[in-house]
Amino acid sequence: MTAAREAPVSEWVTIPDMYRDPFPIFQRMRAEAAVHWVPSVNRYMVVTYDECHTAEMDGETFSADETGSLMKRSMGHSMLRKDDPEHAPERAAWQPPLRPGAIKTVWREVFEANTERYLDRLADAGDAADLIWDFAAPLAAENLRSILGFVNATQEDLQRWSQTMIDATGNYADDPVVWEKGRRSSEEVDRAIDELLPYYAAHPDASLISGLVNMPGGERLPIEAIRANLKMTIGGGLNEPRDVIGTAAWALLENPDQLGRVLQDPALWPVAFDEAIRWIAPIGMYPRETTRDVELGGVRLPAGSRLGIVVLSANRDERVFEYAERFDIAREKKPHLAFGGGAHYCAGAWVAKSSVAQVALPRLFERFEGLEIDGDRETSAGGWVFRGMLKLPVTWQRERKGAAA
């Protein structure tokens, strides 16, 4: 048996380089070790599939309740930074409007209407159309606004709140400007929530905030938990579907043979969705902290070690996914880690699958015949804690109004 070793110190890994293109960096890290100490982010980064999965499934050893958490500072102490049993009641309170039954009976119709609205906006942009900012971002924000029940806010408010608080959650560079923008958004969200609690006590509906106000038995989560968890949901619940729409559309447009297969067989839309989030996981890294001395991937980790679980890297682990750097809807089906796992498996997974794979992507390609990337304008992606398209300019040959099924 090989003795465990100290983690390699990867001083060559920088935040700007990871933001631009993390994949060559992660490929080199995976080849050298499963776990690295990275001074630029002041934590161990876990970059291989098996070790990321191990950490996610062992909550007793790899705690979500990280000391000095950036998310706690940005958004408050949400369920995402709690372990069971504290995590369980908050998760249970969040589930009813996010379950498949509620999506089918309430939210699918909302997703369809919102999708048509923002396809109109994309069409109106004409030669200046950007798939992210004219369609994916406002659509994701409007869908989330509806589910949460923020009747006193706009989708533009949710976009601003989400981005500034997410930026603070990933502020490993400790930029004071980023912290200040996040703080202002956090306070705006608190004020909006405070207005809505009495409103939904008098006007209950199917929204999440209404459900939190009108819980069975008259019980209610503490206001601090409501605020923190709603901020967490605004962050991931907006950025993830926005970035999946952008990533999946980009991948399909860059691989016209695969796009052709999906257009011929609409049953492949969920497959394309799953491959897109494997290929570029929207949430690239999340933290954990060891509760005891432990060995992970042959590396010794003392109790209290701060970890980054890098699913953006794990989902491209060559040991698990053949030709992992390729987008390929025909690849052998294997479980990816984009939705996490264990107790913290993404609560919004069914919402994302319905709103993106069943509605947004099919309707987009039905509406715009000959949709393609505009090669005369810049296309770009960015991020490593959260990664998605920054610019995706598009053109099309013909618009097919009323093409929706």
Backbone angles phi, psi at 398, to 5 degrees: -155, 140
CA distance 367 to 131: 13
CA distance 208 to 147: 6
What are 385-402's pLDDT values in tens digits?
999 999 999 999 999 876
- Mean pLDDT (whole number) for 47-73: 96
pLDDT band at 153 (very low <50, low <70, confident <90, very high): very high
pLDDT band at 118 (very low <50, low <70, confident <90, very high): very high
CA distance 105 to 354: 12
Question: Is it the case that residue 358 has pLDDT exceeding 80?
Answer: yes
Q: What is the reported pLDDT for 402?
A: 62
What are 43-55's pLDDT values in tens digits?
999 999 999 999 9
Beta strand pairing call for 62-63 and 286-290:
antiparallel
Report which of 272, 251, 249, 274 is spatially closest to residue 261, judged by C-alpha positions. 272
pLDDT band at 175 (very low <50, low <70, confident <90, very high): very high
Show the tokens assigned to 32: 């050298």
The residue type found at 169 is T
Question: Is it the case that residue 1 has pLDDT exceeding 50?
Answer: no
What single string gives the DSSP state of each residue in 18-66? HHH--HHHHHHHHHH-SEEEEGGGTEEEE-SHHHHHHHHH-TTTEESS-
Question: Is it the case that residue 108 has pLDDT exceeding 50?
Answer: yes
What are 129-146's pLDDT values in tens digits?
999 999 999 999 999 999
Q: What is the reported pLDDT for 404?
A: 47
Q: What is the reported pLDDT for 2?
A: 61
Beta strand pairing call for 294-296 and 299-301:
antiparallel
What are 322-345's pLDDT values in tens digits?
999 999 999 999 999 999 988 999
Write 109-115 long-range contacts (CB < 8 A, 24+): 110/143, 110/146, 110/147, 111/143, 111/354, 111/355, 111/358, 111/359, 111/360, 112/359, 112/363, 112/404, 114/139, 114/142, 114/143, 114/146, 115/139, 115/359, 115/360, 115/363, 115/364, 115/404
Burial class of residue 13 (count of CB atoms within 10 Å of its CB; 0-12, 13-18, 19+): buried
Write 7-12 long-range contacts (CB < 8 A, 24+): 7/33, 7/35, 7/36, 7/37, 7/44, 7/299, 7/300, 7/301, 8/32, 8/33, 8/36, 8/37, 9/36, 9/37, 9/39, 10/36, 10/37, 10/38, 10/39, 10/45, 11/39, 11/40
Q: For the chain, give every domain's residue range.
A: 15-399
Task: Provide the mean pLDDT of the chain.
Answer: 95
- Mean pLDDT (whole number) for 206-226: 93
| CA 134, 135, 140, 145 torsion-angle sign | positive
Q: What is the reported pLDDT for 219?
A: 83
Percent of the chain with pLDDT over 90: 92
Fold exhibited by the domain 15-399: Cytochrome p450 (1.10.630)
- Lowest-pLDDT range, 214-218, 257-261, 284-288? 214-218
- Mean pLDDT (whole number) for 218-230: 93
